[in-house]
Structure 1
């Protein structure tokens, strides 16, 4: 999915099966595993079979394009709220007969970066309001939810409450692990002194993005005043964007050559 998200849209939304196999080989994935992954994505409605110039391949579905475009705004943009903008509350009630929808709703709110205040009440910085609205409508969950915007008026200190609503220690550990994994990669490329090994750049960039892309969703983008001291998220974001600047262009050249 990372490969389609990064590259297929740049070349018309379609990649041949042979190109996918070649690209995945750079990541150490063999042909049977590639075909199995394609089948899963096809069953989920992410990919659609399509022949171009007699070659078998797969294109992104319209639904997949919509999801990826929304993901771009989250993954490739730094987001950090302010205390003045306030909060968005999602208050929901799902009938017991539709408890699967309740689980889906909780999962989507968590994935958007909402924290849990209590049963049926979730909270996020107000800058996530429109994104939450779009996702809830797209996933046909809006009928179960009421959204409110407002200010926190007390009584506990806001940083104390934030630490209850989100697992910031766990998120900080994930950011720290990202840094541990990819700081050596950036150091290696900086030492390369401009040499562009496009296949290696492609493999590194896909691994970087695969590891990074879930973190901006788990991170609600809280105001700096609400974050723990020595927050690893800032360092991790600096690292990701430095790797993007170094690897994006040679990686794209490799995909263009293979295609």
Structure 2
């Protein structure tokens, strides 16, 4: 999961970081200014906003000055609030917390929904315990429920909470439910890009609002995908030298140092 800063992703990240702090909508001209600082041109911004509008994540709304603008939809706000718990408030996982199981059955005539279900559960951090049986740490239950209802997939799924009582050791089972090597690589890629940025700021780089905004948005855009690829498994179930805690620490330090410093440039100060 090398950094892939698409215009659509950056717009969602911008709204999540700063758009919720503002009164009213973000004017289109302001979106263009803020995305230009990240290397995105105006046509790409307009095209991406249109796609996000079609997906029901942005709704047209006049800005305070009367200009054309866009605000988050209710679904988008719920999506971001669910994501906040993973992105900003990642609790230390405990084995005693248990698991949530998603068991689904989709009629053959609706196979497209079967594919959507698998894809969405995977993006929520679920691993595959058996055909039609997906598993994740229990703390992801609320977000899973909100997501499946929003996508109208809830009629096909039953959710359960419980403990692992299988014959294999839980650490051994976890290694078959998730591709831990691939997840570790995502953390290492994040560290390769953003740990040097954190080190530069820590070494006394001049803290200007625009530079802080740019480095923070790029780090947040990369990081906010990682807690979905990595479900946040208890440390005792993970291989020795797991890089997840280190990448979380780098993001946390960047967030504390740069988020508020960049708010002036983002117009959210």
TM over 0.5: yes
8 Å contact kept, 2:25–2:62: no
Structure 2 Cα separation of the partners of residues 125 and 50 of structure 1: 38
Structure 2 Cα separation of the partners of residues 232 and 214 of structure 1: 16
Give structure 1 stretches of 5+ with no counterpart. Answer: none
Q: Residue 155 of structure 1: CA displacement? A: 1.3
Moved over 4 A (4+): none
Q: Of the candidates 76, 101, 108, which is equivalent to residue 89 of structure 1?
A: 101
Partner of 2:5: none
Q: Residue 50 of structure 1: CA displacement? A: 2.0
Q: Residue 13 of structure 1: CA displacement? A: 4.7
Distance 1:244 1:31, change over 3 A: same
1:200 corresponds to 2:207: no
Counterparts of 1:236-247 in structure 2 under 5 Å? Answer: 236-247=247-258
Higher helix share: 1
Partner of 1:153: 165
1:34 corresponds to 2:8: no
Structure 2 Cα separation of the partners of residues 63 and 150 of structure 1: 29
Partner of 1:131: 143
Q: Of the candidates 234, 246, 251, which is equivalent to residue 245 of structure 2?
A: 234
Structure 2 Cα separation of the partners of residues 152 and 19 of structure 1: 50
Taking only aligned residues, the RMSD between alpha carbons, in angstroms, comes to 1.6
Structure 2 Cα separation of the partners of residues 46 and 134 of structure 1: 15
Give structure 2 stretches of 5+ with no counterpart. Answer: 1-11
8 Å contact kept, 1:202–1:251: yes
Task: Write the deviation string for residues 98-157 of structure 1: whole angstroms up to 9, x where unpaired.
Answer: 111111111121112111012101111222223222322232222111222222223112
8 Å contact kept, 1:13–1:60: no
Partner of 2:74: 62
Structure 1 Cα separation of the partners of residues 136 and 91 of structure 2: 13
Structure 2 Cα separation of the partners of residues 212 and 121 of structure 1: 28
1:7 corresponds to 2:18: yes
Distance 1:63 1:134, change over 3 A: closer
Structure 1 Cα separation of the partners of residues 24 and 166 of structure 2: 49
Match of 1:91, SS state, is strand
Partner of 2:152: 140
TM-score (norm 2): 0.90
Structure 1 Cα separation of the partners of residues 229 and 202 of structure 2: 29
